[in-house]
Structure 1
Amino acid sequence: MQTPEPPAGGARPTSRDVARAAGVSQATVSLVLGDKWRGRVSERTAGAVRDAARELGYRPNLAARNLRLGRTRTAMLVVPALTNEFFAHVYTGAAAVAARHGFGVVLYPSPDGVGPARDPFASAQAALDGVIASSMAADALDAFRGTDLPLVMLDSDPSDSGASAHVNLDVADGMRRVTDHLLALGHRRFLHLASAVPSWTFDARAAALADALRGTELRTVRAPLSVAGAWEAVTLAFEAPGPRPTAVICDDDILAVGVAKFARRLGLRVPEDLSITGFDDLALATAVEPELTTVRLPAEEFGRRGMEALLAVLAGEPAPPATLPVTLVPRGSSGPAPAA
């Protein structure tokens, strides 16, 4: 190895300068200084590279190195949709905690606008410290399973052992609160307008609803998470033979608004002829008349707790499962069951 000459003009030495001084390629310099040379580069060559780097006073570009190693103090939040304000609040909560710890949060929504996101990890994994995945199907994470990138799951099956931590909302209790409210008002014929999106959170709501309403008349129909989808589904349900339901329990406020529009078009009074309940307590819930009885979910707190769990995992600390309480908000869309 020749005696290294520092770069002209006092410029900071680069890996190219080290490679030139040691008589090797830049790829070899990267292997040696990244401590990945064993079995690929000889001891003698590795020593030459280290000597050249030391004599030149070379220091790696930490920003570029962090980008390659995925140590960028960046987390990815995967959500099924940006069209639903709930996920905007989840992001706000996660980003607030991240900022206090010098982290950034990038948002990955489903390209289809709803439902499970497609695999984002193949291109992004190297630039991430961890992932927070909200309300998405497990198969969207297939490419991630088995890697060492931490995953915190929100509103998902707590028995999923592939996640580093779980933070959930007590959606089952939310449905129990809805049913207790409606049963106390005398309702005994129910329609459950369920989300057609496959997700643990909607399965948990349906199971709690079926258990709480055992012994009553309960029908379930599924609808896309849209006003038009709800309208179409509830129209078919009301055209079916048999007594009409006196209350429609919806998996989401958007579905409940679709039912309210349907009821108005049919000439049904809400809540005198038909009670309607939602879930989430979006801004939409108070934009309709009468305002929706719904279940309030602490979306920002949800995002905060998810980011805190990820930071704990990254720090090697325990992140026990957490379940956040929800609140029933009775409003004008629910009332006593109509007389037979």
Structure 2
Amino acid sequence: MTSNQASPPARREPPRPTAATRVTSRDVARAAGVSQAAVSLVLGDKWRGRVSETKAEAVRAAARELGYRPNLAARNLRMGRTRTALLVVPALTTEFFACVYTGAARIAADHGFGVVLYPSPEGIGPARDPFDSASATLDGVIASSMAADALTALRDAGLPLVMLDSDPDDDQATATVNLDIADGVRQLATHLHSLGHRRITHLTAGVDSWTFRLRARTLAETLHGTPGTLLRHHPAALGVDGGLHAAHAALTGPGPRPTALLCDDDIIAAGACKAVRRLGLRIPEDISVTGFDDLALAVAVEPELTTVRLPAEEFGAAGMRALMAVLDGDRPEAPTLPVQLITRGSTAPPPTDTDHTT
């Protein structure tokens, strides 16, 4: 082509919205190469069976890239919703509940919802309505590791209530989502038993809740009838100090000393490890210690904790999916998410000379 020949006109891409303009569903449709109706179905999570998975992902990707935010004011007026959910947790003392929130917020964002995180002032006790009128402010409530009867103030508002890590037979909940806590306890008990431990003390969280009662009951059932096994339960306040004091009492009390401490969570286990060392004992040569949850703390202690990993983020996501299903008039599933035994350096076979009596 010579210099005096005209160049063909360049193909012009449709203009992309700038920061000064509001991104619309039409912009998302254009970027994804689909219709506005398809965008509405995908972003409203009503696309299954009507839009292909490939197109749905293209819409979600385009919405993220363009920074699309739905016109919530118009949608709220049209649907009579606030597009807000409340997540109630007993405390924010570990990253477990932070991960539950992260998973819930991720799914909520896909539906144009916001999530308000509310740590109950009374722990697992009665949770007050944090608003003048929850029914006017919220579309639904998700509660993690709480009892439904502790949420009377919120249930009285007539809102859908999704319970996480709670009694599946509690008919006060609209839906329940659980972790397979019982299987996690069975895995821990089997692991310790297979190593040769027959004197096991369960450091039980001093909290009257369904999940901790389930752990104690499952452990007793798993070890029941096992020849030569001595199972004891010792209450421990939730916290490192609580675990330290409970483990010290368990290891210095009357009778044969346990060879393994099975703790209801990693924080109690961390305290138990301190107690073992202060008594001049070694982990795992003299005493094996296990936790539960697989918090960051589990790999911060030395030796690292054998524990049960809970998929906290997916747990929160499953709870939010259940709430979205309820709000759409569907009957949600009641999934039980699998958990995983993580074996690390805090467990080993008991010492050969185990007849220690105090």
**TM-score normalised over the length of structure 2:** 0.74
Sequence identity (%): 64
Q: In the alignment, residue 217 of structure 1 is paired with which amino acid?
A: L
Matches within 5 A, 1:136-155: 136-145=146-155, 147-155=157-165
Residue 93 (structure 1) aligns with: 103
Rate the CA distance shift 1:315–1:64 in 2: closer, same or farther, 3 A: closer
1:196 partnered with 2:209: no
Residue 350 (structure 2) aligns with: 337
Residue 208 (structure 1) aligns with: 218
- Say which SS state the counterpart of residue 258 (structure 1) adopts: helix
Q: In the alignment, residue 278 of structure 1 is paired with which amino acid?
A: G
Unmatched 5+ stretches in structure 1: 1-61
Structure 1 counterpart of 2:273, from 251, 255, 260: 260
Per the TM alignment, residue 249 of structure 1 is displaced from its structure 2 partner at its CA by: 0.4
What is the alpha-carbon distance in structure 1 between the residues aligned to residue 344 and residue 163 of structure 2? 32
Rate the CA distance shift 1:100–1:66 in 2: closer, same or farther, 3 A: closer
Residue 128 (structure 2) aligns with: 119
> Which ranges of 4 or more aligned residues in structure 1 deviate by more than 4 Å?
62-67
Residue 172 (structure 1) aligns with: 182
Rate the CA distance shift 1:79–1:117 in 2: closer, same or farther, 3 A: farther
More off after superposition, 210-219 vs 323-332: 210-219
Residue 196 (structure 2) aligns with: 186
What is the alpha-carbon distance in structure 2 between the residues aligned to residue 187 and residue 227 of structure 1? 24
What is the alpha-carbon distance in structure 1 between the residues aligned to residue 80 and residue 117 of structure 2? 16
- Say which SS state the counterpart of residue 142 (structure 1) adopts: helix
- Say which SS state the counterpart of residue 337 (structure 1) adopts: coil
What is the alpha-carbon distance in structure 2 between the residues aligned to residue 329 and residue 78 of structure 1? 28
What is the alpha-carbon distance in structure 2 between the residues aligned to residue 124 and residue 275 of structure 1? 50
Per the TM alignment, residue 205 of structure 1 is displaced from its structure 2 partner at its CA by: 0.9
- Say which SS state the counterpart of residue 179 (structure 1) adopts: helix
Contact 2:103–2:316 (Cα < 8 Å) also in 1:
yes
What is the alpha-carbon distance in structure 2 between the residues aligned to residue 287 and residue 117 of structure 1? 34
C-alpha root-mean-square deviation of aligned residues, in Å?
2.0
Q: In the alignment, residue 134 of structure 1 is paired with which amino acid?
A: S
1:161 partnered with 2:171: yes
Rate the CA distance shift 1:130–1:142 in 2: closer, same or farther, 3 A: same
What is the alpha-carbon distance in structure 2 between the residues aligned to residue 237 and residue 185 of structure 1? 21
Deviations for 1:181-224, whole angstroms, at most 9, x for unmatched residues? 00000000010001111211111111110111114211111111
More off after superposition, 219-228 vs 288-297: 219-228
Per the TM alignment, residue 122 of structure 1 is displaced from its structure 2 partner at its CA by: 5.9
Per the TM alignment, residue 236 of structure 1 is displaced from its structure 2 partner at its CA by: 2.0
Matches within 5 A, 1:166-315: 166-215=176-225, 216-315=229-328
Deviations for 1:140-174, whole angstroms, at most 9, x for unmatched residues? 21223454310000000000111111100000000
Residue 84 (structure 1) aligns with: 94
- Say which SS state the counterpart of residue 328 (structure 1) adopts: strand
1:318 partnered with 2:327: no
What is the alpha-carbon distance in structure 2 between the residues aligned to residue 121 and residue 319 of structure 1? 27
Larger radius of gyration: 1
Residue 135 (structure 1) aligns with: 145
Contact 2:126–2:152 (Cα < 8 Å) also in 1:
no
What is the alpha-carbon distance in structure 2 between the residues aligned to residue 63 and residue 75 of structure 1? 16
- Say which SS state the counterpart of residue 189 (structure 2) adopts: helix
Deviations for 1:82-129, whole angstroms, at most 9, x for unmatched residues? 1111000000000000001100000000225x4335222663512000
Unmatched 5+ stretches in structure 2: 1-71
Contact 1:90–1:302 (Cα < 8 Å) also in 2:
yes
Q: In the alignment, residue 85 of structure 1 is paired with which amino acid?
A: E
What is the alpha-carbon distance in structure 1 between the residues aligned to residue 313 and residue 161 of structure 2? 19
Contact 1:272–1:337 (Cα < 8 Å) also in 2:
yes
Deviations for 1:271-298, whole angstroms, at most 9, x for unmatched residues? 0100000000000000010000000000
Matches within 5 A, 1:99-110: 99-110=109-120
Per the TM alignment, residue 136 of structure 1 is displaced from its structure 2 partner at its CA by: 1.1
- Say which SS state the counterpart of residue 123 (structure 1) adopts: coil
Contact 1:70–1:127 (Cα < 8 Å) also in 2:
no
Q: In the alignment, residue 121 of structure 2 is paired with which amino acid?
A: P
- Say which SS state the counterpart of residue 345 (structure 2) adopts: coil
Per the TM alignment, residue 231 of structure 1 is displaced from its structure 2 partner at its CA by: 1.0
What is the alpha-carbon distance in structure 2 between the residues aligned to residue 224 and residue 96 of structure 1? 33
Q: In the alignment, residue 231 of structure 1 is paired with which amino acid?
A: L
Q: In the alignment, residue 184 of structure 2 is paired with which amino acid?
A: G
What is the alpha-carbon distance in structure 1 between the residues aligned to residue 294 and residue 281 of structure 2? 23
